[in-house]
Structure 1
């Protein structure tokens, strides 16, 4: 009965509600800012090289790595496999379309997080959707609701799912014993994450900054090797993807299980565009103009979905291993890569999943700390409380390794969907601020300047912001 309730809530939340809201918001932001995600892509890459003037502040690159650490993870492998095996190859197309539109949503939410960020006593910054919902929309109740959904998503829903996905990659090995092996893996994962998160936010920044680029590059390299070994299959692969993506008779005859629906859900789970998570990291960056970090954060969507998710799609479809519901999850990816690289393939996927999940889990805790600080009058709770909370998050990681797959996906989908709905509505209501901020940046760049932001230049009063007076 619990599973039936979760499935019903999950289905309604994504169709019709979130499908319409996400597509409409992404298209709206794209049109209003002249498809910033395409026109300013090179500028975002250029900004990555800048360093913060204040040594206490996070650099644009560090903030990007924190958000990328959370979204680049098991969704790039397990999420993609689930979408293709259960929804069809066309899910890859709709996942990519949603990601491109989502880049504009990501720019908007992260720019707003910078505009309305706050300053800590040590000079570093913090902020996120809860702060711009309260500060700009003057709706503290909605801001607190968002913070609660954030905690449910990143300390519970995503941690459950991430842990389950990692242990599932071991099911192909002969030593795997259902009921025993998952628990052992859960204990090991929980212990490793506990060691890291007890070191606080700075350790998270350093760990993510090292692991995210390394694991991402390694995964793409292996995917390219497999693709080159099956390069003659690529025309057929693209044909299958587009044929399935535009088979509207099949899509609308069973929308909840269609390639479009799975593309939307798994795409959102993978890149988190518009969910309201990345702004919590974006607000911590020390930049001279809010639009700078908005442009940088867009890159996270390109890295996560356009590159890594599609690397999984093309690698697996080109392998010749047919995607079936029975193989949904790690098994299809492992079987696909094994067909080209032999025994090394499944081992590599297992290692990649461990690294992906590790950075995802520590990035999740970073977001939770921001949500807890908001609910506790803008400051972190006591050290004792934080240690208890981190212990709870670690316990959830263990539990996730031993629960059913469907339950893990439903809980993560529902809590994430709640965050996304609140955040995108707030971003739409504040879109004028984001658009004016973006235009101010473009105007200064055209004048040959290094853009510097002053809130009054875009019509904001000094009492509306804390850091841009």
Structure 2
């Protein structure tokens, strides 16, 4: 096992150091410049769009709203990366890794905008819901805009395989493993041989119940779990920060010093801080990774840019709020790191300040975080399986494999699972970024159209007649519909 882990680490270091980090940073800076910093300039508009309500369809069904799609993506984003991932980044890269996570969020917001606006533009109607009944929901994401925007199916299939393996299997193993790790530090009798299998079995059963209802069941679960878990965790973190308020200047000094200090430069620490900050930042907020667009495509909005703005807001919510709180919890309490990393480090930091009860509360929070992430991760795989094939037997097999991986993840080694997650995440990001760089010109045209309508005092509406030269666009009406009506376009296939 140690030989396998060493090989995975070597592949990771080469992939991220020489290819992924330069590509992620350069792409984010390019999108920021071309969009005139859309992620900062239109921040108030993001908040306005998040409150948009989707009107019921003629058949009485309620479409997925902007907020619903936001919670699906947040359910996958706001997971163990925010607790275990940040702790790992600080352990391996020092406090300076937090600074580079912030940079990743600020720059990555533009990448998130581009990929999610493209996903909305090139989405297709889903003929059937997860339970096989007729549905009016949408599906989309990188696989779809690669085929329809680039005119090539093979990169879409390659990405669909990568995201299904990464999110459906590897990332769900990470979530299961983290829940088990935190629970073992909070529940008596966790050292017994039956504990990890019991936790894995419980998670598999609960996830099976949640995913069998399709995308509407998923949104009904995530719209409850995501706000609850965020509020509880932020309250815990705020209590820790207030009790250690005098340490905040030192913490900010450590973060900035760790990112740029001469001491770190001499010891090679800056490279570790950047690498861990970018890796864990991408794992956490998923900007440019190609995952959130799958959720963004499910929303029913009047203009593709709206969902681009919502998903860009999700990056800030994840990293600048949730991840920063984890960093402050750890760095203000200054626990002895030792050989610990991951969620148990955050748990120790909480209990050092608030007492043993806080560790138990964190166990519940991690469960909500990781379980909601499992739901979002599963959906990403389901959406991309729909791109690759519509054979009826494939989806039940996928569900069974996901549940098996969740069970096995509870039994696995923490280090190997996290390193595997890095490898597959890097491959996903590479495929997606190479696609959205040439397609970004279309996203910027959409942005210009949106801002022009807003300057005219309108609630922006997109129709195919506004950009008749685009091909592969099917789920948008040819002309504006009458007020209060939503155009229903014929079902499409991938």
Shorter-chain TM-score tier: over 0.9
Give the equivalent residue in structure 1 for 2:42: 40
Q: Does 1:453 align with 2:453?
A: no
Matched residue, 1:467: 475
Residue 325 of structure 2: SS of its match in structure 1? helix
Change (3 A) 1:387 1:123: closer
Tell whether the 8 Å contact from 2:96 to 2:270 is kept in structure 1 after alignment: no
Q: How many Å separate the matches in 1 of 2:338 and 2:465?
A: 55
Contact 1:56-1:123 within 8 A present in 2 as well: no
1:155-234 aligned within 5 A: 155-173=168-186, 174-177=188-191, 179-234=193-248
The verdict on how the C-alpha distance between 1:315 and 1:390 changes in structure 2, with shifts beyond 3 A counting, is: same
Q: How many residues align?
A: 463
Indicate conservation of the 8 Å contact 2:258/2:270, yes or no: no
State the TM-score, normalized to the length of structure 2. Answer: 0.90
Q: Does 1:362 align with 2:392?
A: no
- Residues 24, 218 of structure 1: alpha-carbon distance in 2 compared, 3 angstrom cutoff: same
Runs of 4+ more than 6 Å apart: none
Counterpart for residue 280 of structure 1: 294
* SS, match of residue 327 in structure 1: coil
Secondary structure of the structure 2 residue equivalent to 1:245: helix
Spell out, residue by residue over 1:427-464, the C-alpha distance to the aligned partner (whole angstroms, 9 max, x if none): 10101100110011011101111111123434633x43
Q: 1:257 to 1:243 in 2, by over 3 A?
A: closer
Other structure's SS at 2:52 match = coil
Deviates more, 1:214-223 or 1:195-204: 195-204
Which stretch of the first structure deviates more once superposed, 5-14 or 392-401? 5-14
Match of 1:427, SS state, is helix
Alignment of 1:245-284 (within 5 A): 245-247=259-261, 250=264, 254=268, 258-284=272-298
> Aligned residue for 2:361?
348
Q: Does residue 411 of the first structure (1) align with residue 413 of the second (2)?
A: no
With over 3 angstroms needed to count, the CA separation of the structure-2 counterparts of 1:464 and 1:330, relative to structure 1, is closer
Does residue 349 of structure 2 align to residue 336 of structure 1?
yes
- The answer to which of 260-269 and 165-174 deviates more is 165-174
CA distance in 2, matches of 1:320, 1:268: 25
Q: 1:373 aligns with which of 386, 389, 395?
A: 386
1:29 corresponds in structure 2 to 31
Greater share of residues in helix? 1
Aligned-CA RMSD value: 1.7
Cα distance in structure 1, aligned partners of 2:52 and 2:338: 46
Q: 1 CA distance for matches of 2:411 and 2:260?
A: 38
Instruction: Check the 8 A contact 2:329/2:350 in 1, yes or no.
Output: yes
The CA distance in 1 between the partners of 2:265 and 2:120, in whole Å, is 39
- Does the CA-based 8 Å contact 2:105-2:320 persist in structure 1? yes
Contact conserved, 2:258 with 2:269, CA < 8 A, in 1?
no
Deviation by residue 1:78-107 (Cα, 9 ceiling, x = unmatched): 001111012100111000100111111000
Deviation at 1:320? 3.1
Unmatched segments (≥5 aa) in structure 1: none
Structure 1 position 212, deviation (Å) = 0.3
Decide whether the 8 Å contact of 1:251 with 1:260 is kept in 2: no
* Aligned counterpart in structure 2 of residue 130 of structure 1, from 132, 140, 143: 143
**Which segments of 5 or more consecutive residues in structure 2 lack a partner in the other structure?**
128-134, 479-494
Select the residue among 440, 444, 450 that pairs with 2:449.
Answer: 440
* 1:433–1:458 contact (8 Å) kept in structure 2: no
- The aligned residue for residue 239 of structure 1 is 253
Does the CA-based 8 Å contact 2:112-2:288 persist in structure 1? yes
Note the alpha carbon deviations across 1:386-432, whole angstroms, 9 max, x for none: 22221110110111111111210111111111111111111101011
Structure 1 residues 256 and 411, CA gap change in structure 2 (3 angstroms): farther
Distance 1:248 1:117, change over 3 A: farther
The CA distance in 2 between the partners of 1:251 and 1:348, in whole Å, is: 39
Equivalent position to 2:401, from 387, 392, 395: 392
